[in-house]
A and B are shown apart, each in its own frame.
Chain A
Amino acid sequence: DAGVIQSPRHEVTEMGQEVTLRCKPISGHDYLFWYRQTMMRGLELLIYFNNNVPIDDSGMPEDRFSAKMPNASFSTLKIQPSEPRDSAVYFCASTRQGSGNTIYFGEGSWLTVV
């Protein structure tokens, strides 16, 4: 069974550019999470979806960040415009109702904004 799939794995972009990160959750999972990890702040929850509906986006740092989940098998996290302080590893994770709250992480998207 394929795990959570993220793309791109690595991205280097210039300040001001738009960045789109993509995620395919595990098939059958109805919860999807976007986390950001930095040395300074650790792992932070940005937003999560249940059945494709955003439930809590209180962790989204500012309006430059947006996330969508148009269907059960795809989600995007967009940063526009990007800034150097957005440099981090962005993890997508998923789980399903009744799984005992076991959350599975993708391998992450390593973003560097220069």
Chain B
Amino acid sequence: QKEVEQNSGPLSVPEGAIASLNCTYSDRGSQSFFWYRQYSGKSPELIMFIYSNGDKEDGRFTAQLNKASQYVSLLIRDSQPSDSATYLCAVISSGSARQLTFGSGTQLTVLP
């Protein structure tokens, strides 16, 4: 069983819509959760991190964490074509000092 699971997509949304990206993880003791964005041919870039249950908002991005369900999501409001990228969910599992385990990523396309 993969430790971090994401729907690979592709996910397409129209410009201005809300894009919803989902991620589940297997280690119940995981404490730190991250969303990275990766444009084609580029390196992963941190968008948000979340440690506590609930929502965390940063501009158009909202991360949601539900530890009981072992679920983390990323909402992108007012999606723009420039948001088109692969979004990687990453988790630091219990017992790991700094090691990120990544999901396989969800490819998002925002249609003009």
Chain A positions near chain B (C-beta within 8 angstroms): 31, 33, 42-45, 48, 50, 55-56, 91, 95, 100-108
Contacts and interface: CB of A to CB of B under 8 A. Distances in A.
12 contacts: A33-B98, A43-B102, A44-B102, A45-B99, A48-B98, A50-B98, A91-B44, A95-B98, A100-B49, A101-B49, A102-B49, A108-B43
B43 A103 contact: no
A33 B102 CA distance: 13
B105 A56 contact: no
Contact of B97 (A43, A55, A100, A106): A55
Nearest to A40: B104
Nearest to B46: A102
Nearest to B92: A101
Contacts of A50: 97-98
Interface in B53-112: 88, 92, 97-105
Contact of B42 (A31, A42, A95, A107): A107
Contact of A103 (B98, B103, B105): B98
A56 B104 contact: no
A22 to B, nearest CB: 16
Nearest to A30: B98
Interface of A is mostly: strand
B27 interface: no
Contacts of B103: 42
Nearest to A32: B98
B88 A43 contact: yes
B32 interface: yes
Given A42-B105, A100-B49, A101-B49, A48 B99 contact: yes
Nearest to A44: B102
Nearest to B42: A107
A42 B98 contact: no
Contacts of A106: 43
A105 B42 CA distance: 10
A86 B10 CA distance: 26
Contacts of B42: 107
- In the A-B complex, the 8 residue pairs with the closest CB atoms: A105-B43, A43-B102, A42-B104, A31-B98, A101-B32, A107-B43, A105-B44, A108-B43
